[in-house]
């Protein structure tokens, strides 16, 4: 049996974490010259451990010194199990308590308390330290953790510790090997002849040689050249393993610890996060918009806290907050984070990400607080439904997956299931799906129906509102394909009638009143009689005492009915006259190039009317200018 589980050490500086790892694995995790000279861990150290059952653990040795808490946080985020190390000769110390608070905030629930250096104390003192530890861990995730006393120098207690690790590892669920790749980067370096290498704990997914991945928040594309797990070349690395990834085509200087290696499109950078925050007991009061240091995975980013339901948060209290980052981060719903005060740098709290890419919220808004409360505890289906409901313009399913922190496949299946159950509506986009809440669909229809009714009232002779005008006025944020799918849905439901370019309410037909019918006949007769010397726009309006809007409607109606041809903004010709004139032009054209004067004479008209007519023929490609003459364009 081989499982891939990460076990991390935690505890005060010089309490024997590195020596303990060496006793368990035979590996020295102090790899830096400075670490060996000073006798403390500065950077993260890693070592493999095969348990008696065959399970494989990766041991992460984190620094204990308070100045290296950032490095400690970079390691603890990927732990499945933790060994809280306390030296028997010193007992519980300041970094013991801070590391314990971090473990509790990150909810690393599987753990062992390892009491080291027992060869330096007597039995009575050892029992006092045990009692001190029990008091310190009371009320935390390690309250019931076993305490194993060991001496890394003599080997006493090491077999018992290995047995206990094996038992806990058996109860620890494996990380998901399926789904997207997510590897927070804790080291970046280069190797001559190979290029850039990044290391980290693979939180989810499987990485294979040749995979195309991306580094976020930098947005850099990367190809996996090769992989190593604990110094061995492998073709694939699985979730839960410590991995070194050789990336092709990336300069070492472009990425850094805190970046994340991802499946392309899995997560996107954000500067805003919704979360549930808990301050540790004894932390100083946190005021709204306080500046903080935010830690997630291997990233450390400065930001500010917006308290959504109060003006200040006291030690031991919890609240819904919005985190405003000064630099982009990548996060997923359900991620746990740590906060430290800006100055002095002390761990003050941590919590759970609820929404990795939320809109900006108004403070003290009951609907916002209710939504966050529901999304904090909801099932994936409930959370996805809430995400769709909150997006007033609908949501692309890939965006929905990001907001709900689900895989694309999970999102698609849940959305289709909810659509079948009538909980929401799915519209087809370009190779995608667009999810819309029933409330938003109802609101959209009210807006569209009102707009169409107003249009029919003001323009009763037109067949309908132009599709693009409807979209630009009311649905500008919808992709064109999705908007078309929305119209087609309403058409199938019998609410509207569609043409290639217009939308009308179902059952609408342009109708003329008796007065309009009379005027229309008169205007039509005027143009028919005028033939090749038609009245101007203003002359028609004056002749029948029509406003500009009224005349526009008549002229548009007659054009759609095929009665008139619009030559330019000033002149319209009766279609019979226009077709007769085109026939005359074609007769002239058969004999070769012709000029304006010849057309004028053939029609018995004047330059005032013939020049716009010929320019119109040029535009519709019946004729083409050739110097001062024109020629026919072959059909």
What is the per-residue DSSP string for 39-65? TS--S-EEEEEE-TTS-EEEEEE---S
Query: Residue 426 above 60 pLDDT?
Result: yes
The pLDDT value recorded for residue 63 is 59
Query: Residue 77 above 70 pLDDT?
Result: no
What is the average per-residue pLDDT within 436-446?
Answer: 94
What is the average per-residue pLDDT within 263-289?
Answer: 94
Enumerate residues 6+ apart whose C-beta is below 8 A from 134: 147
The pLDDT value recorded for residue 425 is 93
Phi-psi region of 265 (alpha: psi -120 to 50; beta: other; left: phi over 0): left
The pLDDT value recorded for residue 41 is 30
What number of other Cβ atoms are within 10 A of residue 154's Cβ?
11
The pLDDT value recorded for residue 1 is 43
Kindly report, as residue ranges, where domains of CATH 2.40.30.10 are found in the chain: 182-262, 270-368
Confidence of residue 38 (pLDDT cuts 50, 70, 90): very low
Query: Residue 175 above 80 pLDDT?
Result: no
Q: Is 31 exposed, middle or buried (0-12, 13-18, 19+ CB in 10 A)?
A: middle
Kindly report, as residue ranges, where domains of CATH 3.40.50.300 are found in the chain: 4-170
Query: Residue 568 above 50 pLDDT?
Result: yes
Asked if 70 and 345 count as a contact pair (C-beta separation under 8 A), the reply is no
CATH fold for domain 270-368: Elongation Factor Tu (Ef-tu); domain 3 (2.40.30)
The Cα–Cα gap between 447 and 494 comes to 17
Q: Which residue has the tokens 């850094």?
A: 256
> Global pTM?
0.70
The pLDDT value recorded for residue 520 is 85
Greater pLDDT, 173 or 139 = 139
What number of other Cβ atoms are within 10 A of residue 43's Cβ?
20
Q: Is 476 exposed, middle or buried (0-12, 13-18, 19+ CB in 10 A)?
A: exposed
> What proportion of the chain, given as a percentage, has pLDDT over 70?
94
Q: Which of 380, 388, 374, 439 is nearest to 414 (CA)?
A: 380
Confidence of residue 35 (pLDDT cuts 50, 70, 90): very low
Give the architecture-level CATH label for domain 4-170: 3-Layer(aba) Sandwich (3.40)
Kindly report, as residue ranges, where domains of CATH 1.10.10.10 are found in the chain: 514-632
The pLDDT value recorded for residue 164 is 95
What is the average per-residue pLDDT within 140-158?
Answer: 94
CATH fold for domain 514-632: Arc Repressor Mutant, subunit A (1.10.10)
Burial 328-365 (b: 16+ CB within 10 A, else e): bbbbbbebbbbbbbeeeebbbbbbbbbbbbbeebeeee
Residue-averaged pLDDT of the chain: 88
Give the architecture-level CATH label for domain 182-262: Beta Barrel (2.40)
Question: Three-state SS string across 423-467, please?
Answer: CEEEEEECCEEEEEEHHHHHHHHHHHHHHHHHHHHHCCCCCCEEH
Query: Residue 140 above 80 pLDDT?
Result: yes
pLDDT in tens, 314-355: 999 999 999 999 999 999 888 999 999 998 888 999 999 999
Confidence of residue 406 (pLDDT cuts 50, 70, 90): confident
Q: Which of 337, 347, 26 is nearest to 155 (CA)?
A: 26
Q: Tokens at residue 555, please?
A: 């002229």
* R_g (Cα) of the chain, nearest Å: 37
Asked if 48 and 54 count as a contact pair (C-beta separation under 8 A), the reply is no
What is the average per-residue pLDDT within 199-223?
Answer: 93
Give the lowest-confidence range in 14-23, 121-130, 373-382, 578-587. 14-23
């Amino acid at each position: 049996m081989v499982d891939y589980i990460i076990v991390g050490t935690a505890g005060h500086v010089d309490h024997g974490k590195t020596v303990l790892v060496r006793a368990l694995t035979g590996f020295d995790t102090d790899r830096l010259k400075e670490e060996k000279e000073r006798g403390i861990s500065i950077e993260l150290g890693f070592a493999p451990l095969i348990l008696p059952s065959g399970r494989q653990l990766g041991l992460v040795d984190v620094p204990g010194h308070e100045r290296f808490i950032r490095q400690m946080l970079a390691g603890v985020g990927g732990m499945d199990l933790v060994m809280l190390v306390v030296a028997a000769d010193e007992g519980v110390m300041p970094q013991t308590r801070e590391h314990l608070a971090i473990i509790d905030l990150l909810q690393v629930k599987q753990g062992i308390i390892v009491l080291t250096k027992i060869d330096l104390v007597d039995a009575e003192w050892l029992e006092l330290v045990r009692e001190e530890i029990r008091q310190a861990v009371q009320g935390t995730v390690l309250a019931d953790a076993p305490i194993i006393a060991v001496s890394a120098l003599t080997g006493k207690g090491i077999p018992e510790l290995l047995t206990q690790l094996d038992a806990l590892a058996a109860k620890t669920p494996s990380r998901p090997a399926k789904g997207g790749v997510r590897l927070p980067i804790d080291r970046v370096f280069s190797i001559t002849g190979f290029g850039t290498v990044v290391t980290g704990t693979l939180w989810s997914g499987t990485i294979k040689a040749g995979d195309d991945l991306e580094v976020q928040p930098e947005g850099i594309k990367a190809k996996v050249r090769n992989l190593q797990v604990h110094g061995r070349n492998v073709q694939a690395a699985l979730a839960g393993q410590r991995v070194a990834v050789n990336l092709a085509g990336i300069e070492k200087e472009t990425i850094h610890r805190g970046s994340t290696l991802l499946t392309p499109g899995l997560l996107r950078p954000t500067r805003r996060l919704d979360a549930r925050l808990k301050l540790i007991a004894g932390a100083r009061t946190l005021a709204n918009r306080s500046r903080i240091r935010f830690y997630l995975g291997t990233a450390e980013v400065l930001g500010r806290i917006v308290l959504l339901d109060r003006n200040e948060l006291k030690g031991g209290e919890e609240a819904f907050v919005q985190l405003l980052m000064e630099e982009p981060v990548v996060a997923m719903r359900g991620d746990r984070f740590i906060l430290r005060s800006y100055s002095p740098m002390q761990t003050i709290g941590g919590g759970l990400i609820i929404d990795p890419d939320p809109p900006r919220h108004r403070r003290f808004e009951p609907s916002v607080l209710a939504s966050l409360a529901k999304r904090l505890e909801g099932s994936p289906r409930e959370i996805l439904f809430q995400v769709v409901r909150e997006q007033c313009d609908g949501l692309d399913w890939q965006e929905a997956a990001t907001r709900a922190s689900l895989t694309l496949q999970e999102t698609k299946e849940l959305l289709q299931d909810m659509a079948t159950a009538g909980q929401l509506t799915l519209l087809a986009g370009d190779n995608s799906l667009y999810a819309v809440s029933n409330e938003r669909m109802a609101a959209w229809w009210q807006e569209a129906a009102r707009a169409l009714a107003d249009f029919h009232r003001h323009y009763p002779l037109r067949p309908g509102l132009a599709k693009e005008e409807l979209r630009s006025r009311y649905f500008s944020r919808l992709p064109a394909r999705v908007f078309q799918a929305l119209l087609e849905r309403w058409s199938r439901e019998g609410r509207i009638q569609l043409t290639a370019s217009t939308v009308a309410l179902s059952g609408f037909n342009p109708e003329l009143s008796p007065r309009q019918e009379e005027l229309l006949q008169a205007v039509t007769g005027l143009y028919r009689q005028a033939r090749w010397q038609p009245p101007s726009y203003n002359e028609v309006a004056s002749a029948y005492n029509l406003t500009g809007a009224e005349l526009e409607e008549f002229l548009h109606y007659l054009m759609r009915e095929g009665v008139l041809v619009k030559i330019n903004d000033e002149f319209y010709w009766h279609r019979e006259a226009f077709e007769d004139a085109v026939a005359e032009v074609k007769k002239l054209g058969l004999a070769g190039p012709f000029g304006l004067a010849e057309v004028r004479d053939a029609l018995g008209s004047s330059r005032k009317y013939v020049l716009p007519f010929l320019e119109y023929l040029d535009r519709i490609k019946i004729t083409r200018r050739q110097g001062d003459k024109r020629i026919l364009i072959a059909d």
